[in-house]
Amino acid sequence: MIVILDSEQIEQILKDLVGRIIAETPCESDIAVIGIRSRGEVLAKRLSGRLSKQLGKDVPCGTLDITLYRDDLNSPQGTAQPQVRTTEIGFDIDDKIIILVDDVLYTGRSARAAMDALIDLGRPGAIKLAVLVDRLGKELPIQADYAGYKTDVEPGKLVQVFLSESDGKEEVVIE
Work out the average pLDDT over 20-38: 94
3-state secondary structure of 156: coil
**pLDDT for residue 162:** 97
pLDDT in tens, 46-77: 999 999 999 999 999 999 999 888 766 555 45
**pLDDT for residue 168:** 93
Work out the average pLDDT over 3-23: 98
Mean pLDDT over each residue of the chain, to the nearest integer: 92
Q: Measured between alpha carbons, how far is 39 from 15 in angstroms, rounded to an integer?
A: 17
Percent of the chain with pLDDT over 90: 83
- Between these two residues, 155 and 57, which has the higher pLDDT value? 57
**pLDDT for residue 64:** 97
**Which domains are assigned to the chain?**
9-22+29-69+86-155 (3.40.50.2020)
pLDDT in tens, 65-123: 998 887 665 554 555 656 767 899 999 999 999 999 999 999 999 999 999 999 999 99
Nearest alpha-carbon partner for 88 in 48, 53, 125, 52: 48
Q: Which helix (H) or strand (E) holds 64?
A: strand 61-64
**pLDDT for residue 127:** 98
- Between these two residues, 28 and 99, which has the higher pLDDT value? 99
Residue 42 buriedness (CB in 10 A; 0-12 / 13-18 / 19+)? buried
How far is C-alpha 120 from the chain's CA centre? Answer: 18
- According to DSSP, the residues that pair with 100 across neighbouring strands are 34, 129
